[in-house]
Chains A and B, each alone.
Chain A
Amino acid sequence: MQRRPTLLDSCARAATAAEARFRVAYPNSLQRASLVIALDDGAETVVRAAAQHDWAGARFLTYVEPVSAVGAGPGGAIVRGEDGSESLLGDELGDADVVVMIATSERSAEAASIIGTASFARGIMTAGCVFGAGDAADSGVVTALRPYASVLVVAADDDYVMEMLTALRA
């Protein structure tokens, strides 16, 4: 086999398994702030179950209703925390890096539009996750979330939320 000249600054062994052992070992990221919000009743069950596990700071909320009160700002909504306490969406969004919206039905359209708009306005990444038993989800809920989720996942299994949050270091 013909050999090509190796460039002066190259190291053909750099990509070997032996060299891979010398990858510097240290935590190469800081903790993320992930907000997981259930948009409807079905989604709340999924989110509650996920919340039971250990996470690196992820917070789990449920959308309750819109607020139009003066001072709530555009995209105002009330959300409920794991302990049942209610707060304003705008306050929760504060330092979030990513908002993950979980939905199971078309009824989540209003919530998606309020949360998505508020997140876009703040430059927060949005992801949507749609569940529906077996033949993943009717298209109504997908259409409802599409404009507001930079990434929209249509999953058949509820445990995908766990998989995604783990992969995202939530």
Chain B
Amino acid sequence: MLRKEVNELLTQTGPGTPTGDLFRQYWIPAMLAEELPENDAPPVRVKLLSERLVAIRDSEGRYGLIDEFCAHRGVSLWFGRNEESGLRCPYHGWKYDYTGQCIEVPSEPEESGFCAKIKLTGYPLVKIGDVLWTHMGDPDDRPPLPEWEFALVPPEQTFTSKRWQESNWLQAFEGGIDSSHVSWLHSDGLKNDPLFKGAAGNKYNQADKKPFFEVVQAEGGLFIGARRDAEDDQYYWRITPWVMPSFTMVPPRGDHPVHGHFWIPIDDENCWAYSYDYHPVRALTADERQAMKDGHGVHCEYVPGTYRPLRNKDNDYMMDRAAQKRGDTYSGVKGIAMQDASLQESMGPIVDRTKENLVSTDNGIIMARQRLRKAVTALRDDGVTPPGVDPAHHRVRSASILLPREDAFIDTCRDALAATPGVKQTSV
């Protein structure tokens, strides 16, 4: 159960809201690099943190994220002509550069310098890995660029997709640290999904549906460990990191690529689920990359030409009751990503957390909410920089590992939980 005020505090991320200010402290994914594939590519509408923007890549390859609407009479610059180092509004020809600075107002004499007085809001857009990142906060307080391992490894080792999720960011993110749902909702994935099946550790998951949990506070957020009995007086641990505000990483399985998510608010009732998949030390195989493109693992199939999942609320996620009955899927919805998204969207756009009945195994979620609330209020009241801004906090990994029963993972696994270039992930 969460009080109404706290639910509102954490779910509202528009301009001027405390949690909106929190998100504006970070470099966050704004879009996939593939959306702006070449210089002078068509501009792309981007709504982020309840701000309507348009992204451009100009003739010189400079990226920018600017106010979607022309300062003249409010036309959407998505209709603009992206040419000769700027975006020109098709209505009366006003032209803007990649920072949002107006550089031409054709109706006014050039000597008047009028255009210098017109400036659209603009945010930086930086390509790191497959993602274009932005920082929507105070430019004077811009943190160093992000150092997430999935974005820093060579391109052949990584793959990122995104999908539109029709719910608030918080309930989507909470799914990423809700370790106790995996044994139920995704039980079919362990057996069948090409990006999950076959790992030695899977047998422990299948044998024990009631893991014990350990939740440990970390500098950037949390570590959530789930342990199950294993042979020789050991436990099989699966450890999930969360880094503020919304980065999570699923514990690895065998030598499969490692994956995880970033949940980024579009507005208060929609978010982007970014899903990355990478291998720290080797190229993805052609089969792995194809499986990711085909929507296996944490990825999904799309309505052609969009980032909207093919299985979505307009078609009841293509619910297959026969498959549910046979046990091919546990919920009747195909694919891990949409199994999660369908249920999270079914809660309504912003779930009413005053009606919840949480239990002890929900402690990961309880602690994440507390840490978020504290970070939001410390920033609002005292200007304290929140956890997760410092790139040192980005260099984490998930792990799956067999440990002697008396070992505390947080001590024994320090190396396993740190992203070290050239070192393989710790995985069973």
The residues of A with any CB-CB pair to B shorter than 8 Å are: 1-7, 9-10, 12, 14-17, 19-20, 23, 28-29, 98, 100, 125-127, 136, 139, 142-143, 146-147, 149-157, 160, 163-164, 166-169
Contact = CB atoms under 8 A, between A and B. Distances in A.
A7 B345 contact: no
Given A1-B305, A6-B316, A163 B370 contact: yes
B139 interface: no
B408 A142 contact: yes
Contacts of A143: 406-408
A1 B212 contact: no
B366 A164 contact: yes
A5 B315 CA distance: 6
B215 A153 contact: yes
Interface of B: 1-3, 166, 210, 212-217, 269, 303-306, 308, 310, 312-316, 318-319, 345-350, 352, 355, 357-363, 366-367, 369-370, 374, 405-408, 410-411
Given A4-B318, A163-B370, A151 B363 contact: yes
Given A20-B348, A156-B217, A160-B370, A150 B360 contact: yes
A71 B370 CA distance: 43
A15 B165 CA distance: 12
Contacts of B213: 150-152
A15 B166 contact: yes
Contacts of B310: 4
B349 A16 contact: yes
Nearest to B344: A15
A133 to B, nearest CB: 12
A6 B315 contact: yes
Given A150-B361, A163-B370, A168-B358, A139 B315 contact: no
A167 B366 CA distance: 7
A152 to B, nearest CB: 5
B215 A7 contact: no
A7 B321 CA distance: 12
Contact of B308 (A1, A100, A155, A169): A1
A155 B374 CA distance: 14
B297 to A, nearest CB: 23
Given A10-B316, A155-B367, A156-B217, A168 B350 contact: no
A152 B214 contact: yes
Which 3 A-B residue pairs are closest in the complex by CB-CB distance? A20-B348, A10-B316, A4-B315
Nearest to B361: A151
Contacts of B355: 23, 28
A152 B215 CA distance: 6
Contact of A164 (B304, B350, B363): B363
Given A127-B363, A155-B217, 6 more contacts: A6-B316, A10-B316, A142-B214, A151-B214, A154-B410, A156-B217
B387 to A, nearest CB: 11
A20 B411 CA distance: 45
B215 A151 contact: yes
Contacts of B361: 150-151
Given A12-B314, A28-B355, A153-B215, A2 B303 contact: yes
28 contacts: A1-B305, A4-B318, A7-B316, A10-B319, A15-B347, A15-B349, A17-B348, A17-B349, A20-B350, A23-B348, A29-B357, A98-B359, A98-B360, A100-B360, A125-B359, A126-B360, A136-B217, A142-B410, A146-B405, A150-B210, A151-B360, A151-B363, A154-B410, A156-B217, A163-B370, A167-B358, A167-B362, A167-B369
Nearest to B357: A29
Nearest to B215: A153
Contacts of A98: 359-360
A156 B219 CA distance: 10
A154 B217 contact: yes
B344 to A, nearest CB: 10
